Structure 1
Amino acid sequence: MSTKSSILIYTGSPLDYPEYRHTALHFAYATGTTSTMHVVGTQGFFIFQEDVDLDPYDTGAELAKTVSVAEIDGSVSAGTIRRAVSATPVKNGREDLDWNCQNWVGDALMMLVDRGVLSAEVRDKAVDGMVDGCLEARDQ
């Protein structure tokens, strides 16, 4: 059995503009367990957070869109995925003022590419879908 991976895109706050949309990685493992991994906080105070078995619709924010990333081969363990994603650097420096959760999702997907879990093509398509999903906020 495989692990289904996706990007969750939540409506922005205080205004629903693309730059305020929150993004996270969501994994549905073959065991039935789910994990949502993301960075939370604000500029200079971002931290990594993992929510296990939390319904993506039950977070207090409105889920605007889900972007499918890939079905990850069942031979890749949940621990392997978690170690790769949680090792993704969180940037809180002065030179990172325009960095946010959307950048982190792209970086985390690149960590999965580096570990051989995803292909670069799958990552690029997923990031494009995330960008498009965030931009849809202005069109609706």
Structure 2
Amino acid sequence: MYDSNGKSRWLVDTKLIIIPSLNGMLLAPMMPPGYTYLKNFKDFFSKTKYWLLKPADTLVSTGYCLTNTGKEYIVYQDKPAAFQINLSAISKLLKAKWYQPFSRQYLDAGICRKGQVLFTPPAFLWDGPVVLFLSNE
């Protein structure tokens, strides 16, 4: 019942419920509370070079920022509201995308140039947290 190596994989949710998975896939009827949000988190960061990111909250007027300076920026806002980000360190244009971590919705946010940039999340993201992902790739 476990993967081909005979090793079990485990998922621990916030209530410390431990549930084995089969071949790395958690079975839908066994999904613990919080699983979907954690899966969305993993799926989002798997599209980034997360191992190169460093905290840089001073670059944003509100919220939290991780950056691989000049190449990749991730801004997390607890509540969707307008904010500024300092992109003075970039040398290439950056593609911007909005991401809603609960619904997994992405929305193109345009192209960013060097300097102070103001972002306002789109109306459909006004429920809960919102993430802005900027990348030169």
Q: TM-score, normalised by structure 1?
A: 0.23
Structure of greater Rg: 2
Which has more helix, going by share of residues?
Answer: 1
TM-score by length of 2: 0.24
Structure with the largest fraction of strand? 2
